[in-house]
Amino acid sequence: MNKSELIDAMAAAADISKASAGRALNGFIDAVSEAMKTGDSVTLIGFGTFSVRERAARSGRNPQTGAAIEIKASKIPSFKAGKSLKDAVN
């Protein structure tokens, strides 16, 4: 499912226009992104938790040359599924 299909499904489920569903989805994405930028996590009970994880610096290899390279530390977005979502999938 891509973004436009998700918007269509949201509009049908909530009985709203596709434009309203698109604005709602964009608002949700923006709110989660802003919260994660500040280091906060977003928890939706039963669905899951969006959070930011720290990835430590490490050494790696250039696949073309085989030369060792240093990969700097970074922050990565993470999602952990909640129990209801896991149960729905299984």
CA distances (Å), 57 to each of 60, 63, 72, in order? Answer: 10, 18, 5
- Tell me the per-residue pLDDT of 29-69, one tens digit each, with 9 for 90 and over: 999 999 999 999 999 999 999 999 999 999 999 999 999 99
pTM for the whole thing? 0.79
